[in-house]
Amino acid sequence: MKRFSSTMKGSSRRTFLNKHILALVAFCAAIVVLLFLVPRAVGSVAALAITPVLQIEHWIAESSSVLPSYIRSRNELLAAEQELRRKLADHAAAALSASLLAKENDALRGLLSATTTSRIAAGVIGRPTLLPYDVFVIDRGTVDGVRQHAPVYAGKDQVIGFVAHAYAHTAVVTLVTTPDFKSTVYIYGPNIYTTAVGRGSGSLRVAVPQGITLTEGDLVAIPSLGRGVYGKISVIDSVPSRPEQYGYVSIEEPLAGIQFVSVGAEPLTTITFEEAKEIVEHVRTDVLSVPVPGDVLVDVESGTSTATTTDEL
């Protein structure tokens, strides 16, 4: 009995669905027949249905009544607002582009006018961490006058490395912060020569014995790379029980933020200690000294016994 009942229910459902499908097919066929046999009647019915819609549209577009005028004014205001927003966005984009170009222009002017010696401005097209170690790739090469072993500067006088390989239109710059890269440095403050070791990520480490005073902010120069300052000591790691202390040297601008550099026209050469002392003194004069008027400067070595006090100023 159960099997007979389920069979009967299934057949009744199929019969119900078949009737609905046949009704839908018959309705569609009737519509097609009407379109072919009485197209004018169908068109008239469609026209009667569409006419009120067209009349309302015409009334809104042409009538001087309050409601249509309000709708038209609102639509016009919305369209005007969208147009103004688009123009503001265009102006903002143009202003941003102009600002970026102005900054790039100022940076390039600063690089090229920083020194009396000729330099070659270049853009950085590859940098850590996209490249291994502390290496830059620049968009100038031998065609532009870039030579192997030429010093590379970020900013006016901040030397950061040298050209390791020069190709026709590009060059690879090795930074002095390359891990385990060693360079002789001079630290202003304690006024000592020591060895700096690259730690990567734009950082150098200097190690000096306990008892030598290191101060955060002490400038560090690398004489072998020319007349420039590399950076300043930013962190000091000193434990009294340890025989040495460490100072970590970094540049003001992170490597990721350097977009332009300048390349010295002449390659680096091996220098003597006397030449290194001359470079150190040059940096001391150009970077650490400020031209103060004689009547304001208090200096025993100047031989003057009178000076202007701060209160008098």
Q: Are 251 and 231 in contact (CB under 8 A)?
A: yes
Supply the pLDDT for residue 116: 47
Cβ-based neighbours of 159, under 8 Å, separated by 6 or more: 151, 152, 153, 176, 222, 225, 226, 228, 229, 230
Supply the pLDDT for residue 4: 43
- Secondary structure (DSSP) of the chain: -HHHHHHHHHHHHHHHHHHHHHHHHHHHHHHHHHHHH-HHHHHHHHHHHHHHHHHHHHHHHH--SHHHHHHHHHHHHHHHHHHHHHHHHHHHHHHHHHHHHHHHHHHHHHHHSS-SS-EEEEEEEE-TTTSSSSEEEES--GGGT--TT-EEESSSS-EEEEEEEE-SS-EEEEETTSTT-EEEEEETTTTEEEEEEEEETTEEEEEEETTS---TT-EEE-GGG-S-EEEEEEEEE--TTSSEEEEEEE-SS-GGG--EEEEESS------HHHHHHHHHHHIIIII-----TTT---GGGT------TTT-
Supply the pLDDT for residue 112: 54
Quote the pTM value: 0.55
| Residue 115: CA count within 13 A, CB half-sphere | 22
Between CA 114 and CA 266 the distance in angstroms is 16
Q: pLDDT tens digits, residue range 185-233?
A: 999 889 899 999 988 888 899 999 988 888 898 988 888 877 667 888 9
Supply the pLDDT for residue 251: 81
Identify the segments of the chain with pLDDT beneath 50.
1-2, 4, 7, 114-116, 302-313
Supply the pLDDT for residue 307: 39
